[in-house]
Amino acid sequence: MEKRLIIVLLVGLLAVTAALAPAAPAAAAPPTQTAEVYVVQAGDTLSSIAWRFGVTVDDMLVANGLTDADLILTGQQLVIPIASSPDEPGITPGENETASGSQEFSQVYVVQPGDTLFAIATQFGLTVSEVMLANGITDPHWLSVGQLLTIPPAGLPPSYPAPFAAVLLSPAPVVQGQTLVVRVDLDEPAALSGEFDGRPFRFVGDRTGGWALVGIHALQPTGVYSLTLRASRSDETQATAIVDVAVGSGLFDTEYISVPPDQGDLLDPDLIRDEYARVADVWSQVSPRPLWEGPFALPLATDRITSYFGTRRSYNEGPVSSFHAGVDFGESEGSPIYAPAAGRVAFAEFLDVRGGSTLIDHGVGIYSGYWHQSQILVQPEQTVETGDLIGFVGGTGLSTAPHLHWEVRVAGIAVDPIQWTKMAIP
């Protein structure tokens, strides 16, 4: 259920600010059940929140998949269903509408009993595949009551200045810790470059277009950011398109970790910083061509994850100052580790914090890392293919039990590796 909530924050807009699209003809009035999100404050009760928004406690329970009205936590995000009023059936809040009444932004729909994906899509003037795409749904029969769906704007083809023919962002909306794929088609030959929130990113492709990967930092504050695209023609003229990207919450948990006293000295900040600088120096090198193809495989013969990416962390009851930059697989010492995708080994060494460490360069600034190995079977510069044995699980370095810590970096930004196993990027 919690994962479903992610969608909400996405209030998701891909509005083009460079050139506002002309208002499309008004579609039939969009139906009911759009929702907003409320963050629980200290002292709130479910009934006080329900009262404030003019909905019932039961509505709140259903919309949030809750079973116990007493179980809400400060900071928790709750969906506020829009109370259906007999007088104004199905009117959505005005702030998301353009003058002509068409939706410019995504909205959130709460699945009702009896709904089908086809019925929902039709209500909003969309196709089933548009709704599936916006929600990462692969099986159209998989819907549950209370589930939240992102409803993308209908009938508003974005327009971009020439020579931009098309700009496609996926996943859209994006959440903290995900890898954002930017695809651009051009009408006339030009060189592409881009920036997200002030950070430049590179395109792979030719002068008719290309794709780029942007790592969304796990601690990136939620909100709307500008993604700037530049097309430089050979006559030195340049066109700029600015796309707004809404970054939603990854809804990460917090873990409280105790480090045994004899490992306490490994938390020395200087040591941590120096070691980080060594590995960061490796993953900041960008090799020119992508070496992988298709979705990544899992690096182990298990999918038992013991700690997810992005989890906020507090060590020895200290402040929550860091997040988990990869996923941990709890697996016994000596279990084989396989390359999840093709690449070139860029680093293979034993380190104090990370233990037996390997970094694979997959090209164009994409790296995967394997920490705490008991044994490393590869050497720098060696090329690997998907499924190649590269090492064995261990508990070396700063580790309380044998496990594999697996991470993926996009231009140095740690992103959720599991996304890479679920979809072919780009």
Tokens of 121: 């899509």
- Distances 277 to 152, 272, 401, 412 between C-alpha atoms, Å: 41, 9, 25, 11
Q: Which is nearer to Zn ion, 31 or 355 (CB)?
A: 355
Could you tell me the smallest distance in angstroms from the CB atom of residue 340 to Zn ion? 16
Q: Which is nearer to Zn ion, 196 or 371 (CB)?
A: 371
Q: Which is nearer to Zn ion, 229 or 337 (CB)?
A: 337
Closest-approach residue to Zn ion (CB):
405
Could you tell me the smallest distance in angstroms from the CB atom of residue 272 to Zn ion? 14
Could you tell me the smallest distance in angstroms from the CB atom of residue 346 to Zn ion? 19
Give the binding range for Zn ion (CB under 5 A) out of 133-141, 226-234, 325-333, 392-400: 325-333
According to the binding rule CB under 5 A, does residue 328 interact with Zn ion? Answer: yes
According to the binding rule CB under 5 A, does residue 407 interact with Zn ion? Answer: no
Side chain identity at residue 60, one-letter code: M
Tokens of 423: 């979809």
Give the binding range for Zn ion (CB under 5 A) out of 23-31, 206-214, 244-252, 399-407: 399-407
Give the binding range for Zn ion (CB under 5 A) out of 44-52, 244-252, 266-274, 405-413: 405-413
Find the Cα–Cα–Cα–Cα dihedral 308, 314, 320, 326, rounded to 10°. -30
Give the binding range for Zn ion (CB under 5 A) out of 12-20, 128-136, 199-207, 319-327: 319-327
d(CA 243, CA 264): 46
According to the binding rule CB under 5 A, does residue 4 interact with Zn ion? Answer: no
Q: Which is nearer to Zn ion, 209 or 326 (CB)?
A: 326
Size of the site for Zn ion (CB under 5 A): 3
Could you tell me the smallest distance in angstroms from the CB atom of residue 143 to Zn ion? 34
Q: Which is nearer to Zn ion, 24 or 393 (CB)?
A: 393
Give the binding range for Zn ion (CB under 5 A) out of 78-86, 220-228, 250-258, 323-331: 323-331
d(CA 325, CA 128): 35
Could you tell me the smallest distance in angstroms from the CB atom of residue 424 to Zn ion? 25
Q: Which is nearer to Zn ion, 192 or 218 (CB)?
A: 218
Q: Which is nearer to Zn ion, 192 or 337 (CB)?
A: 337
According to the binding rule CB under 5 A, does residue 405 interact with Zn ion? Answer: yes
Could you tell me the smallest distance in angstroms from the CB atom of residue 402 to Zn ion? 12
Residue with tokens 């093709």: 342
Give the binding range for Zn ion (CB under 5 A) out of 79-87, 164-172, 354-362, 398-406: 398-406
Q: Which is nearer to Zn ion, 328 or 361 (CB)?
A: 328
Could you tell me the smallest distance in angstroms from the CB atom of residue 404 to Zn ion? 8
Q: Which is nearer to Zn ion, 59 or 328 (CB)?
A: 328
Which residues sit opposite 404 in a β-bridge? Answer: 329
Could you tell me the smallest distance in angstroms from the CB atom of residue 178 to Zn ion? 18
Could you tell me the smallest distance in angstroms from the CB atom of residue 414 to Zn ion? 11
- Distances 97 to 40, 103, 131, 251, 308 between C-alpha atoms, Å: 27, 5, 19, 28, 37
Q: Which is nearer to Zn ion, 326 or 365 (CB)?
A: 326
Could you tell me the smallest distance in angstroms from the CB atom of residue 278 to Zn ion? 18
Where along the sequence are the contacts to Zn ion (CB under 5 A)? Answer: 326, 328, 405
